[in-house]
Amino acid sequence: MPPTIYNLKSFSRSSGSFNYSTPKTDSNSNLLTFHSTDKWNAHFKAAKETNKLMVLDFTATWCGPCKLMDPVLQDFSAKYTDAEFIKIDVEELNEVSQALQVYQLPTFVLVKKGKVVDRVVGVKKEELKRSIANHIK
C-alpha cells in the first residue's frame, strides 16, 4: 500500500519561533535548508539569474512519507550536481509553500529561471528522477 500523502489544509501551523539562520547544508549531503523567508527570497531572486535547476523539497518534521524520500533526495543531490536541492519545511516557511501552491506532502517543485517547470507530489522516486533528468539539460 502506498504511503499517505498529507493534505496541508487539514493541519494547523505550529506556534513555535523561527530560527533565522543562514541557509545551511544538511549533514552528509549538499541539500540546502532555509529557515528564513527573507533569506529564501534573496536566494530565489539570485537564482532567477541562472539557468540552474532548483529542486525544492517541501517537507515537515511530522510527515512520514517525506522521511521516506530523504535518502532518495540525498542520492539525487549527489548524482545531479548541476542542480540545486533545497529542503523547505512548510511550517517554518509557510509563506513560501503557499506562494508555490503546495497543499500536499511530500511535494517537489522544480524551478528554472524563477519559473515552475514541473511538480511531483507524493513518494514517486522514478517520476522525480525523470523530471530532474528532463529539466537539468
Please check the confidence at residue 2 and state whether its pLDDT lies above 90: no
> Is residue 136 helix, strand or coil?
coil
Residue 24 annotated in active site: no
Which residue reads 517537507 in cell numbers? 59
Residue 66 annotated in active site: yes
Tell me the pLDDT tens digit for each residue of 68-123: 999 999 999 999 999 999 999 999 999 999 999 999 999 999 999 999 999 999 99
Tell me the pLDDT tens digit for each residue of 63-82: 999 999 999 999 999 999 99
Query: Which position among 55, 56, 60, 63 bears the catalytic label?
Result: 63
Neighbours of 62 (CB within 10 A): 12
Alpha carbon distance 123, 21 (integer Å): 29
Structure pTM? 0.81
Q: Which residues contact 134 (CB under 8 A, 6 or more apart)?
A: 118
The helix (H) or strand (E) run that includes residue 110 is strand 107-112
Question: What single DSSP character describes residue 106?
Answer: S
Tell me the pLDDT tens digit for each residue of 16-51: 333 333 455 444 457 899 999 999 999 999 999 999
Per-residue burial over 79-88, b = 16 or more CB atoms within 10 Å of its CB, e = otherwise: ebeebbbbbb
